[in-house]
A and B are shown apart, each in its own frame.
Chain A
Amino acid sequence: MAQATRKKPVAKIAGAAVSTRIAAQSHFRTLRLGTPLQPRIDALAKTQDWYNWAGYRAPHSLWDEELEYFAIRSQAALFDISPMTKYRIEGPDAEALLNRVTLRDVTKLKSGRVHYTAWCDDEGFVLDDGTLFRLSPSHFRLCSQERHLPWLLDSAVGFDVIVEEETEAVAGLALQGPTSFAVLRDAGFAGVEKLKIFDLADFPHDGGTVTVSRTGFTGDLGYELFVPADKALSLWDRLMTSGEPRGIRAIGYTALNRARLEAGLIVANADFTTAEHAIRADRLRMPDEIGLGFMIDLEKGHFNGRRAILEARAKRKLRYVLVGLEIEGNIPAEHAIVYHRKAQEVGLVSAAMWSPMAKRNIAIASLARPYGDTMVEDLWVEIYAMRELQYQKLMKRAKVVARPFIKLDRRTANPPADF
């Protein structure tokens, strides 16, 4: 006897939520999204040299990666940071939640200030680093490389707080370089001269508001501007117009990456592997192992990973150290192996370049302790320089040096100078 087939009719499309969801289906046709600033970027993209930044079509370079770098150091450079992951964290318990999640003491972060921070899983391994903006006593913006919504929401249980991903809703622009202040002032951002390093303030723009912070990823004088996506193009135009006499240029990531290396700043999943992406257990890193130990505030009470970090410190279980290296010669040592006495492998260079500002061959490397920590003598890097289909193998002496590799007074000067 045959069974009856149970009818489960497909329901008629109902509800606004479903139709919104269905309307979003078409994203599969655009694998790399444009940012709100894409029309301007595309118009300037002479090299058509793109990469995938978190699902967005972002420029490696726009016209000349070398000259784009010098625009950062000599004039002002405009860089689209819209693809950066952004979370709105708001509510009476926002401070308490962030204090619990991140390493630094958020109660010390005043409204209108920004700090660079990081956060760990329960084992004390770094999930990401990023910047935390305190827009008001109860309203924060967390910017990061990777995505952390489940982590933030799960941590928020029991806190009176809203956590919302706002990457697409908020566009971001980095304006960096010695004339960046003058560009902003000339664009009519009245009072922007009052911003000290890591200060932020709101300014009127195009019938709305733009949040300007004196922050950046270049080690230079610079600002970051956050604006609702629909005001992004007018903000771009406003800056480009006012910056034109001062040589403002749009740039791609390669130039920015050089500037950040000179500034000694690290990039998640380039200089260390974030915990949620580390498939191999030995790739996990504690803050002390990637140079972020300074953020850890043991006085502030419990935060994620605190116990593990304390134990690792007490039992000397920290296995790695991230250092700045100065390498003899001028051949960049990117991804070179670091040796002790030219024989024992002790680490790897994660980023390297010839620094035009420092006129030195610089690098960031992760070394296995005690090398780079208590043993800093007799370190070498082996550089494989491919030259016309032949490797020129070089063994060059490396010296552990403090970061940043360059220190520019104009970055912190108050009031900021015109150039």
Chain B
Amino acid sequence: MTGQNGDHHAKFRAFGNGSRKNEERVVRKDWAKMKAWDAIVIGGGHNGLVNACYLQRAGLDVLVVEKNDWVGGAATSRELTPGFLYSNCSYVCSLFRPEIMRDLELPRFGLQVISYEGGAVFTRDGDYLANYRDHDAHRREFARFSKRDAEAYDRYARDVTRQCRFIQPLLMRTAPDPTSLRPRDLGELLYLGKKFAGLSAQEMALTLRFWTMSISEFLDEYFETDVIKANFALSGIIGTALGPMSPGTAYVLLHHYMGEVDGSVGAWGYARGGMGAVTKALAASFKASGGTIRIGAEVDHVLVQRGKAKGVVLAGGEEIYGKLVVSNADVKRTFLKLVEEKELPDIFLRRVKNFKIRGSSGKVNIALDSLPEFPALPKDSPVYRGDMHFTDSMERMERAYDDWKAGRWSADPFLDMVIPTTLDPTMAPPGKHFMSCFVQYAPPKVNGREWTDADRDGFAESVIAQIAEYSPGFRDRIVHMEVRTPREIEAEVGLTEGNIFQGELTFDQLLFNRPVPGYAQYRSPLSGLYMCGSSTHPGGGVMGAPGRNAAAEILRDLAKSTSHMSPAHDVI
């Protein structure tokens, strides 16, 4: 995309309407006057901020432009009603890389992640199946439903842990390009190959199956009891437009297991102060190292000249120049909205268009004037401080997905519900609570048309009705509620179709195929334009690894040191 056309197009975009010659002169003058940032990061989500922090700390002069009047992207805490902080998108923390927290001194800027206690699936017969942190309590709890399955957990945990240990070191490395003969790519391929070769034949087979099979089939190899399978399967579908019986969902489970809270692998926690605490700390760290953030600055498009990104143009027409541009937006938003199609190679464009980033979930965030009661749950149960679910069978889970396929939200939805205020006193007034309900499935369009407000209310009702079945009087405790369908998530956060992972975590979209083959190393077809969002390796979740890895590649291109970036902690 070099030569006359691209050049012309870039000028056109940069100069707006009018006589080309005049505009050219005007801009040349501006070029001289205007500051050109070393890097402009589009989007102040956690990955954009991680990326910006690392670049700034490498000595670059970095600007983050964020369309909202606050930073955070999908990791925010917002006071939507007085006294209540809402983690209104992402709601739990586990995958965020400890190496990044340390490198960027996030504890110093207020980030604290607190582990939480297990959780439960409520069953329709008035009971529940809990997950307890204590190994023996966990076994005894499962034994209430099946003595056999209770004793099957160790083998299951062993196999999942083995797979996590295989993948975890890959999170903080740029995926190799298998078609490249560069020594570095060969080296990385060799690393991958060696790691794979280090597995036993049985583990290799398991790895390949794990990356391709359905969570339902995977769980069938260990467990017999429906509610126990449903309990584990939920991690295989969260954020994914697939059902528990769809191939590829076993990997999604792995993705959720890879996390850790302070060395406790697989543990989940709450960011104290809500998920916004993550991005608040990142923003503070960024500013402390000299970085600049502009909020309320929506990027209309990337400024491209001679096939090279030169800066961004804001929605109001303001041009900001940068030696390079990094997009935290998902791959579709970046290349289908912020860059003109003709700047991009055909095959790349086609693959971006076909990238699977289907909306599958929504959120219902609720302020409560008191802790809800669940008659099935003893009052002193630790489950109140964990994650709660109501989908007690694989079939119900799959049926919920059937609705999505038909273009409807699930009439009997799958909920991942947490009440972080049971452990975090900063999010609501004493005795009052914030409840986050992640809801699946919600289609990007309802029966092929846009969501309406009436649809949104119907969607919310399906959620409230489900909770109220298990918690009488629940409706009376509601002080305020925020309902977010894919429509609201896309409009506010900018995630295409409201997909929380910026693209599904299926094997065809992982590693060197994420987001598209040939462009898995954070670079794009346009020189000077990089990607750092969850559309890139290793994918979604509040992990920070894409932002970090992209920074490493950028600094490599600039021949700058990456000595301020810790490598992944050893997995021993």
Q: Give A contacts to B, CB under 8 Å.
A: 1-15, 18, 21-22, 24-29, 31-33, 52, 54-55, 123, 146-150, 153, 165, 276-279, 281
Contact = CB atoms under 8 A, between A and B. Distances in A.
24 contacts: A2-B458, A3-B411, A5-B461, A8-B469, A10-B124, A10-B126, A13-B125, A13-B126, A21-B127, A21-B145, A24-B144, A25-B127, A28-B130, A28-B382, A31-B134, A33-B136, A55-B137, A55-B139, A148-B151, A149-B147, A150-B149, A165-B147, A276-B155, A279-B158
A281 B136 contact: no
Interface in B123-162: 124-128, 130, 132, 134-137, 139-141, 144-145, 147-152, 154-155, 158, 161-162
Contacts of A279: 158, 161-162, 165
Interface of B: 124-128, 130, 132, 134-137, 139-141, 144-145, 147-152, 154-155, 158, 161-162, 165, 199-200, 202-203, 222, 378, 380-382, 396, 408-409, 411-412, 454-455, 457-458, 461-462, 465, 469-470
Contacts of B203: 281
B132 A28 contact: yes
Given A1-B454, A2-B454, A5-B411, A21 B151 contact: no
Contact of B462 (A5, A26, A277): A5
A276 B454 contact: no
Interface centre among B134, B151, B152, B457 (most CB of A within 10 A): B151
Residue from the set A4, A10, A148, A165 with the largest chain B CB neighbour count within 10 Å: A10
Q: Output the residue of B137, B382, B469 with the most chain A CB within 10 A.
A: B137
A-side interface mostly: loop
A26 B141 CA distance: 9
Contact of A2 (B145, B378, B457, B469): B457
A28 B151 contact: no
Contacts of A55: 135-137, 139-140
Top 7 closest pairs, chain A to chain B, by CB:
A55-B136, A2-B458, A6-B411, A149-B151, A147-B151, A150-B152, A13-B126
A25 B222 CA distance: 23
Contacts of B411: 3-6
B469 A10 contact: yes
A10 B470 contact: yes
Contact of A11 (B124, B148, B151): B124
A31 to B, nearest CB: 5
B550 to A, nearest CB: 32
B124 A277 contact: no
A281 B144 CA distance: 32
Contacts of B465: 5, 7
Contacts of A153: 148
B137 A9 contact: no
Contacts of A21: 127, 144-145
Nearest to A163: B148
A2 B408 CA distance: 10
A28 B158 contact: no
A164 B412 CA distance: 37
A7 B140 CA distance: 32
Contacts of A25: 127-128, 144, 378
A9 B408 contact: no
A193 B261 CA distance: 58
Contacts of A8: 124, 396, 412, 469
B154 A277 contact: yes
Given A31-B134, A31-B137, A149-B147, 12 more contacts: A3-B462, A12-B126, A28-B137, A55-B140, A123-B202, A147-B139, A147-B154, A148-B151, A149-B150, A150-B155, A277-B158, A278-B158
B412 A6 contact: yes
Contacts of A18: 125-127
Contacts of A165: 147, 151
A33 B165 CA distance: 33
Contacts of B134: 31
Nearest to A26: B378
A36 B281 CA distance: 53
A276 B150 CA distance: 14
B129 to A, nearest CB: 10
B140 to A, nearest CB: 5
A18 B470 CA distance: 17
A8 B391 CA distance: 11
Contacts of B154: 146-147, 276-277
Contacts of B408: 3
A6 B139 CA distance: 34
Given A165-B147, A279-B161, A27 B141 contact: yes
Contacts of B148: 149-150, 153
Contact of A276 (B141, B144, B158, B461): B158
A11 B125 contact: yes
B447 to A, nearest CB: 9
B446 to A, nearest CB: 8
B126 A22 contact: yes
Contacts of A54: 136
A2 B461 contact: yes
A367 to B, nearest CB: 21
A277 B202 CA distance: 16
A28 B151 CA distance: 17
Contacts of A277: 154, 158
A18 B128 CA distance: 11
Contact of B380 (A7, A10, A29): A29
A2 B136 contact: no
A393 to B, nearest CB: 24
A276 B140 CA distance: 19
Contacts of B145: 21
Given A27-B137, A28-B141, A279-B162, A3 B458 contact: yes
A27 B140 contact: yes
Contacts of B469: 8-10
Contacts of B380: 29
A28 B130 CA distance: 9
Which of B141, B155, B409, B469 has most A Cβ within 10 Å?
B155
B423 to A, nearest CB: 17
A278 B155 CA distance: 9
Nearest to A15: B125
A147 B150 CA distance: 9
A123 B205 CA distance: 14
Contacts of B128: 25
A55 B142 CA distance: 14
A99 B202 CA distance: 25
B77 to A, nearest CB: 30
Contacts of A278: 158
B140 A22 contact: no
Contacts of B409: 3
A317 to B, nearest CB: 12
Given A10-B124, A279-B165, A28 B412 contact: no
Given A278-B158, A279-B158, A31 B455 contact: no
A345 B401 CA distance: 56
A10 B390 CA distance: 10
A279 B165 CA distance: 9
A31 B396 CA distance: 32
Nearest to A165: B147
Nearest to A21: B144
Given A27-B141, A276-B154, A11 B136 contact: no
A24 B141 CA distance: 8
A130 to B, nearest CB: 15
A29 B134 CA distance: 11
A340 B443 CA distance: 66
A11 B126 contact: yes
Nearest to A164: B147
Nearest to B203: A281
B462 A281 contact: no
A66 B373 CA distance: 52
Contacts of A14: 125
A265 B409 CA distance: 61
Nearest to B154: A276
Contacts of B151: 147-150, 165
